Amino acid sequence: MSVLLFYVMKYKQSEPENPDNDRFVLAKRLSFVDVATGWLGQGLGVACGMAYTGKYFDRASYRVFCLMSDGESSEGSVWEAMAFASYYSLDNLVAIFDVNRLGHSGALPAEHCIDIYQRRCEAFGWNTYVVDGRDVEALCQVFWQASQVKHKPTAVVAKTFKGRGAPSIEDAESWHGKPMPTERADAIIKLIESQIETNRNLEPQLPIEDSPEVNITDVRMTSPPDYRVGDKIATRKACGLALAKLGHANNRVIVLDGDTKYSTFSEIFNKEYPERFIECFMAEQNMVSEDGVSQMALEDIAMFRTIPKCTIFYPTDAVSTEHAVALAANAKGMCFIRTTRPETMVIYTPQERFEIGQAKVLRHCVSDKVTVIGAGITVYEALAAADELLKQDIFIRVIDLFTIKPLDVATIISSAKATEGRIITVEDHYPQGGIGEAVCAAVSMDPDIQVHSLAVSGVPQSGKPEELLDMYGISARHIIVAVKCMLLN
Ligand SMILES: Cc1ncc(C[n+]2csc(CCOP(=O)(O)OP(=O)(O)O)c2C)c(N)n1
């Protein structure tokens, strides 16, 4: 990283987004990392897109560096990207394989067998160097050599040790993703600082300013659709024609296809703008690589709901989870069990019985005014809201769904009837395709039931679970507000 950032890469330190800067792709988020791909295996695909743009569209001098890990290279998408980069001769792209032998759970298949990585990279048509990842001079040399190579992307296979220099941490398993105790971290920082030999302020080289000005805002069709009512045309063809039309509007409209241009009709675009058509072949993972939010699954319920016969469990506590596992083992078809990261309180006795499609009513009394439906983590928020509202003499019924598909429609409807038709759903999921929509669909034929849904509406940031629940509107506090609003209306 230091060789790259302070010796090799050219960029304006004060302007991380300057288009002339060299690009840096890494799985971790820092201000000068152009793309952070915590969902491993996407980085190289994104870097390929940047390098392709730099070489063929911008025709600029900036270069693209992608720091990858050895564990990550188990992902098939990495090798799709490797094939893409060499096919398109992306000589402005350098991928650095940080081969530290370890993944999250332990040693990786190829461990420190550097030659395995070397041969794989060479087989994919890459100019490949093997270095000791701590040898500054060797790194400087291979990065310089890489800059001289034409028509081939470069792979730098660097042998490294995780936690190098830190006593009893170097090359040891089970440190991945584990916070270091403060005293230990302080000692290690001191140790590292004691090894710094110069306090010279290192300045990166400035970039060559030759990237074009690009405007991709306000891309409009130049004329309205040219179809008459009664015309017959396949929409896939209309889509292909529309893309070609959009190509007139802005020369930064490009099309990527995965060896299907005659089926998708993107061949129409290809004929008109061959230089803006990118054939990605049958490597769709690489084709769609994009910056993703690291491992926050907020669309999974929607995805699994669409699969025929798939059962979706979202157990709330350890007891219901164990039942979910046993029920899944005996269920026909695919099952998806959604579990929760933080520790949650056990709320069911060992004697409680669970069935697929049977929800649990956790709070109820004759004076209930609203039914609050949750699953998993949001059940605790609903219970906390119920406790708080109780102090204000407002009674709510709380339902734990247990399975989201199939949904316990009978319990939902009878609870809604008992609470004057009022339902609030609350879920740690995007609104689209989640619990709220499932419940709405289930009660849609009943004009006397109204559903208000609390769900995560934006792409979230990282944070503490309780902070995130509150920030994205699905905490007890938000449930209380929603209950009161519903009662006012
Ligand atoms: C696609 C994907 N699967 C699983 C994870 C969870 N995960 C985070 S880090 C990691 C292992 C990291 O090992 P490696 O890729 O070698 O990186 P490094 O040792 O350099 O940290 C895993 C499995 C992830 N981030 N992305």
Q: What is the mean pLDDT of the segment spanning 123-130?
A: 98
User: Which pLDDT value is given to residue 201?
Assistant: 83
Span of 173-182, 207-216, 384-393 with lowest mean pLDDT: 173-182
Q: Is the CB of 41 under 6 A from ligand 1?
A: yes
- Stated pTM of the model: 0.88
Could you tell me the distance, in angstroms and rounded to a whole number, from the CA of residue 261 to the centre of ligand 1?
35
177 lies in the same domain as 234: no
Domain that holds residue 265: 215-284
Could you tell me the distance, in angstroms and rounded to a whole number, from the CA of residue 72 to the centre of ligand 1?
6
Cα of first residue to Cα of last residue in the chain, in angstroms, is 58
453 lies in the same domain as 328: yes
d(CA 51, CA 151): 12
119 lies in the same domain as 31: yes
User: Which pLDDT value is given to residue 293?
Assistant: 60
Q: Is the CB of 68 under 6 A from ligand 1?
A: no
Contact 374, 418 (CB under 8 A): no
User: Which pLDDT value is given to residue 128?
Assistant: 98
Q: Above 80 in pLDDT, residue 121? A: yes
User: Which pLDDT value is given to residue 294?
Assistant: 61
| Order of strands across the sheet that contains 154-159 | 35-36, 23-26, 64-69, 93-99, 154-159, 127-132
Ligand 1, atom 19, residue with closest C-alpha: 103
337 lies in the same domain as 458: yes
User: Which pLDDT value is given to residue 295?
Assistant: 67
Q: Of 224, 255, 284, which residue constitutes the final position of a domain?
A: 284
Residue 209 lies in a domain: no
- The angle at the Cα of 196, spanning 193 to 200, to the nearest 5 degrees, equals 120
Contact 333, 310 (CB under 8 A): yes
Percent of the chain with pLDDT over 90: 87
Residue 73: both structure tokens together: 């290279």
Q: Is the CB of 69 under 6 A from ligand 1?
A: yes
Q: Which residue's entry shows tokens 């006795």? A: 349
Q: Of 165, 194, 223, which residue constitutes the final position of a domain?
A: 194
Total domains in the chain come to 3
- Among candidate residues 397, 463, 453, the one with its CA nearest the CA of residue 427: 453
d(CA 24, CA 22): 7
Strands 311-313 and 403-405: antiparallel
d(CA 37, CA 45): 10
Residue 322 CB contacts under 8 Å (≥ 6 apart), including other chains: none
Residue 77 lies in a domain: yes
Ligand 1, atom 7, residue with closest C-alpha: 104
Ligand 1, atom 12, residue with closest C-alpha: 103
176 lies in the same domain as 93: yes
Q: What is the mean pLDDT of the segment spanning 391-396?
A: 98
257 lies in the same domain as 190: no
Q: Is the CB of 72 under 6 A from ligand 1?
A: yes
Ligand 1, atom 10, residue with closest C-alpha: 104
Could you tell me the distance, in angstroms and rounded to a whole number, from the CA of residue 73 to the centre of ligand 1?
10
**The 3-state secondary structure of 5-74, one letter per residue:** HHHHCECCCCCCCCCCCCEEEECCCCCCCCEECCCCCCHHHHHHHHHHHHHHHCCCCCCEEEEEECCHHH
Residue 232 lies in a domain: yes
Longest CA–CA separation in the chain, Å: 79
Ligand 1, atom 22, residue with closest C-alpha: 104
d(CA 371, CA 398): 6
User: Which pLDDT value is given to residue 221?
Assistant: 93
pLDDT classification of 286: cutoffs 50, 70, 90: very high
Q: Is the CB of 104 under 6 A from ligand 1?
A: yes
- The angle at the Cα of 50, spanning 47 to 51, to the nearest 5 degrees, equals 85
Q: Is the CB of 59 under 6 A from ligand 1?
A: no
Q: Above 90 in pLDDT, residue 461? A: no
User: Which pLDDT value is given to residue 40?
Assistant: 87
Q: Is the CB of 39 under 6 A from ligand 1?
A: yes
Residue 369 lies in a domain: yes
- Among candidate residues 16, 11, 8, the one with its CA nearest the CA of residue 33: 16
Q: Above 80 in pLDDT, residue 296? A: no
Q: Which residue's entry shows tokens 């989870």? A: 321
Span of 77-81, 187-191, 287-291 with lowest mean pLDDT: 287-291
Q: What is the pLDDT of residues 397-456, one digit of tens each?
A: 999 999 999 999 999 999 999 999 999 999 999 999 999 999 999 999 999 999 999 999
DSSP string, 133-180: TT-HHHHHHHHHHHHH--SS-EEEEEE--TTTTSTTTTT-SS-TT-PP
Contact 42, 295 (CB under 8 A): no
d(CA 117, CA 110): 8
- Among candidate residues 375, 382, 357, 362, the one with its CA nearest the CA of residue 316: 375
| Residue 312's CATH number | 3.40.50.920
Name the percent of the chain in helix, strand, coil, to the closest 5.
35, 15, 50
| Residue 176's CATH number | 3.40.50.970
Contact 321, 346 (CB under 8 A): no
Residue 292 lies in a domain: no
pLDDT classification of 155: cutoffs 50, 70, 90: very high
Contact 7, 146 (CB under 8 A): no
User: Which pLDDT value is given to residue 292?
Assistant: 58
Residue 128 CB contacts under 8 Å (≥ 6 apart), including other chains: 118, 121, 122, 154, 155, 156, 157
Residue 152 CB contacts under 8 Å (≥ 6 apart), including other chains: 86, 89, 91, 125, 126, 127
User: Which pLDDT value is given to residue 178?
Assistant: 84
184 lies in the same domain as 250: no
407 lies in the same domain as 309: yes
Could you tell me the distance, in angstroms and rounded to a whole number, from the CA of residue 147 to the centre of ligand 1?
29
- Among candidate residues 434, 437, 426, the one with its CA nearest the CA of residue 399: 426
Paired residues of 279 in beta bridges: 257
Closest ligand 1 atom, CA of 73?
15
Q: Above 70 in pLDDT, residue 250? A: yes
Could you tell me the distance, in angstroms and rounded to a whole number, from the CA of residue 36 to the centre of ligand 1?
13
Closest ligand 1 atom, CA of 39?
26
Q: Above 70 in pLDDT, residue 240? A: yes
Ligand 1, atom 16, residue with closest C-alpha: 71
Q: Above 90 in pLDDT, residue 33? A: no
Task: Considering only residues 455 and 166, tell me which one the structure prediction assigns the higher pLDDT.
Answer: 455
Our measurement of the distance from residue 308's CA atom to the centroid of its chain's CA atoms, rounded to an integer in Å, reads 25
Q: Above 70 in pLDDT, residue 253? A: yes
Q: Is the CB of 71 under 6 A from ligand 1?
A: yes
Closest ligand 1 atom, CA of 100?
19
Ligand 1, atom 1, residue with closest C-alpha: 40
Our measurement of the distance from residue 236's CA atom to the centroid of its chain's CA atoms, rounded to an integer in Å, reads 29
Q: Is the CB of 160 under 6 A from ligand 1?
A: no
Q: Above 80 in pLDDT, residue 36? A: no
Q: What is the mean pLDDT of the segment spanning 166-172?
A: 90
Could you tell me the distance, in angstroms and rounded to a whole number, from the CA of residue 162 to the centre of ligand 1?
13
- Look up 284 and say whether it is catalytic: yes
Q: Is the CB of 40 under 6 A from ligand 1?
A: yes
Q: Which residue's entry shows tokens 């915590």? A: 38
Q: Which residue's entry shows tokens 């302007």? A: 15
pLDDT classification of 34: cutoffs 50, 70, 90: confident
Paired residues of 68 in beta bridges: 97
384 lies in the same domain as 471: yes
Residue 43 lies in a domain: yes
Average model confidence (pLDDT) across the chain: 94
Could you tell me the distance, in angstroms and rounded to a whole number, from the CA of residue 49 to the centre of ligand 1?
22
Residue 375 lies in a domain: yes
Q: What is the mean pLDDT of the segment spanning 327-333?
A: 95
119 lies in the same domain as 261: no
Residue from 267, 272, 279, 284 carrying the catalytic annotation: 284
Helix pair angle (409-418, 435-443), 10° resolution: 80
12 lies in the same domain as 106: yes
Q: What is the pLDDT of residues 350-365, one digit of tens each?
A: 999 999 999 999 999 9
344 lies in the same domain as 484: yes
Q: Is the CB of 102 under 6 A from ligand 1?
A: yes
Q: Of 235, 255, 284, which residue constitutes the final position of a domain?
A: 284
User: Which pLDDT value is given to residue 28?
Assistant: 65
Could you tell me the distance, in angstroms and rounded to a whole number, from the CA of residue 44 to the centre of ligand 1?
14
Residue 296 lies in a domain: no
User: Which pLDDT value is given to residue 289?
Assistant: 82
| Order of strands across the sheet that contains 335-337 | 335-337, 311-313, 403-405
Q: State how far the alpha carbon of 171 is from the alpha carbons of 1, 26, 111, 139, in Å.
A: 19, 21, 11, 21
User: Which pLDDT value is given to residue 306?
Assistant: 97
